Structures are given as structure tokens and as C-alpha cells.
Amino acid sequence: MAKETILVLGANGQIGTELVEYLRFEYGNVNVIASDIKAPQEVHGPFEQMDVLDVNRLTELVKDHKVTQIYHLAAMLSATAEQKIMLGWELNMTGLINVLNIAVECKVKKVFWPSSIAVFGPSTPKLNTPQYCYTDPSTLYGVSKLAGEHWCNYYFNKFGLDVRSIRYPGLIGYKSVPGGGTTDYAVYIFHEALARGSYDCFLEADTMLPMMYMEDAIRGTVELMEAPAEKIKVRTSYNIAGMSFTPGELAIEIRKTMPEFKITYHPDIRQTYADSWPKSIDDSVARKDWGWNPHFNTSKLVGEMMTHCKDLV
């Protein structure tokens, strides 16, 4: 395997924390540089504190370390971006464009940038949402993700940049806390169940959304990046699916190991974002092109979360 130097931007977030650990195990600690605007809680390898909007520092970092791959995760998530729309647009768009330009200038071999199911909107088919369909995002976050998908596709076509992307569903993991998204309830529910025996949910009981266990998302991301370039036919972003459930169904699953668990529902503004998103995703194109295959269903996910979150309480 050719030597790779991998830069992860937004490395201290919910996904970055787990992705860096996975990449360091696979590629070696010193070959994976973590970077974030915030200082990390613990340092396990090379770390650079940096703002992705600082083009000069980012260019210097990529040149000095002869970076061959960038995973660009720094972004403002749906609920937060709705409160700070111009800052959300600036970080989500200018941050991505900086990374794409620097990747072309410095001849970075591959770039990964995550999109989201938030690109879909009220006119999108809700069940088994296809890879190609009408996209009319209703959040600023979704607008920035849809525009970002097309920037990625444009840089692939115009400059030959090998940029790859996945439309993540809601991601559920126990190693870090979520960063202000609409699907965050599906992480907090486990922590609250174990700490208090109850959870007050900000979505209605019957709000079905596509979700995925973090281990599947990280493995899928790295598999996409390691797939031969000729297999990657979609240069906007791939649909991938894990499972779909409602808060009510998740509560029933939790009660199988914790019968006394209680859930209440007080929907807030995030209900309107969730209502515009798909209930389930058709990921047949990703399966066919680069062999995507999830390993976790809802009951396996609940088992893992209850076991691991117990250790944190």
C-alpha cells in the first residue's frame, strides 16, 4: 500500500472522534493528522488546532505534511445552522470550497466530504427515497449540503479531483456527543435511559427517520475512500441506509432490556425539519457501485448502545 498522509478536519466532532481512531488503527498513528478549531480533550497522535476558513494555514498544513487524503467534516449541523444561518452558510460552503481549491492546488489524491439526508425535502418521495429524485431542502443546512454536492461534482468534472461523498442518515454512537442535529435524540435517549430511566423526546412518537450505527458509517466511509476510482460513478453524493425507526419504536426496543423505561414527547422546531426528511432510503446504487452493506439493524444497535453507554454512566 502506498504511504498515505491523511488530514481529518473537524476531527473532534461526533464522527471525527471515531473516524480518526479507525484511520489511525489502519494507517498508523503518525500518518493521520487530526485538526479542529477546538483543542481536543485527549491527544493520541498528531493534532493541529486550525480554522478551516483560514486558507493560508490550511494550505501550509497540506503542503508541509504532503497530505494525500483529506476528510473534511467541519460543518454546522441542522438545528444550530437554523439559528445562525449566515455563519452556517459561511462554514459549510466556504469551508468546503477552501478544501476543494487547496486539494486541486496541492494535488491531494482524494477528498471525502459528507452530505446528509437533509438535501431531501417536502417534494422528495418519503419511502425508499431514490438516489436520483427531486431535492428541495427546507433547512439552511440542507441547502448548503445540496450546493456542496454539486461543488464536489463540478470539481471532479472540471479539475479531475477525486472527491467522494455519502449522504449520512442520523448517526448513533456512544464515543462522543452529537453536534446539534435533528436526529440527536437517538443518542441522548440511551444516556438518559441509563442515567434517569426516562427521556423527554423533542420529536413525536411516530417520526420515522433513517438512522445508522456509527461503526457502519465509519466502515462505509473508509470503504468508499478505498474503492477503486472507476467504481465511483456518483460524484455528488451516495445514498446509504442502515435502518429506520421512530422514537416510539426505539423506546419499545429499549424496554426489552429496561422494562421500566419511560418516554414523553414535547416536539420542538426540530419536528418540522424531521417532517421534511425521508423515512427510509434506497441505497441500491451504493451497494452496486462499491459494495456498501450495513451490519447493524435496530435491535443490534440498541444492544450495543445499552452496553456501551452503561459503562459511561
Q: Which residues are catalytic?
A: 141
**Which residue blocks in the chain are alpha helix, DSSP H?**
14-27, 55-64, 78-83, 85-89, 95-105, 140-159, 185-196, 214-226, 247-255, 270-275, 284-290, 298-312
Residue 32 φ then ψ, to 5°: -120, 110
**11-19, 236-244, 273-281, 303-311 -> range binding ligand NAD (CB under 6 A):** 11-19
Q: Is 143 in the site for ligand NAD (CB under 6 A)?
A: no
- Kindly give the pairing relationship between strand 166-168 and strand 209-213: unpaired
Q: Is 74 in the site for ligand NAD (CB under 6 A)?
A: yes
Q: Is 116 in the site for ligand NAD (CB under 6 A)?
A: yes
Considering the complex, state which of residue 5 and residue 139 has its C-beta at the smaller distance from ligand NAD.
Answer: 139
**50-58, 102-110, 240-248, 271-279 -> range binding ligand NAD (CB under 6 A):** 50-58
Q: Which residues pair with 171 in a beta bridge?
A: 212
d(CA 284, CA 241): 9
**49-57, 127-135, 254-262, 301-309 -> range binding ligand NAD (CB under 6 A):** 49-57
d(CA 82, CA 273): 10
d(CA 160, CA 165): 15
**119-127, 168-176, 192-200, 302-310 -> range binding ligand NAD (CB under 6 A):** 168-176
Q: Which three cell numbers mark 63?
A: 503542503
Site residue total, ligand NAD (CB under 6 A): 27
Q: Which amino acid is at 79?
A: A
Q: Is 124 in the site for ligand NAD (CB under 6 A)?
A: no
Question: What is the number of alpha carbons within 13 Å of residue 132 lying toward its C-beta?
Answer: 4
d(CA 178, CA 183): 9
Q: Is 228 helix (H, G, I), strand (E, B) or coil?
A: coil
d(CA 163, CA 285): 17
Q: Provide, rounded to whole angstroms, the least separation between the CB of residue 44 and ligand NAD.
A: 15
Considering the complex, state which of residue 169 and residue 306 has its C-beta at the smaller distance from ligand NAD.
Answer: 169
Considering the complex, state which of residue 168 and residue 261 has its C-beta at the smaller distance from ligand NAD.
Answer: 168
**31-39, 58-66, 102-110, 272-280 -> range binding ligand NAD (CB under 6 A):** 31-39
Among 6, 7, 8, 12, binds ligand NAD (CB under 6 A): 12
Place of cell 498528531: 46
Q: Provide, rounded to whole angstroms, the least separation between the CB of residue 256 and ligand NAD.
A: 24
Considering the complex, state which of residue 179 and residue 242 has its C-beta at the smaller distance from ligand NAD.
Answer: 179
Considering the complex, state which of residue 126 and residue 255 has its C-beta at the smaller distance from ligand NAD.
Answer: 126
Footprint of ligand NAD on 239-298 (CB under 6 A):
none
Among 8, 32, 33, 52, binds ligand NAD (CB under 6 A): 52
C-alpha 247 chain-centroid distance: 20
Per residue, the 3-state secondary structure of 246-293, as one string, reads: CHHHHHHHHHCCCCCCEEEECCCCHHHHHHCCCCCECCHHHHHHHCCC
d(CA 159, CA 78): 30
Q: Is 304 in the site for ligand NAD (CB under 6 A)?
A: no
Q: Which three cell numbers mark 200?
A: 423527554
Q: Is 137 in the site for ligand NAD (CB under 6 A)?
A: no
Interface residues with ligand NAD (CB under 6 A) are: 9-10, 12-16, 36-38, 51-53, 73-75, 77, 91, 114, 116, 168, 170-171, 178-179, 181, 183
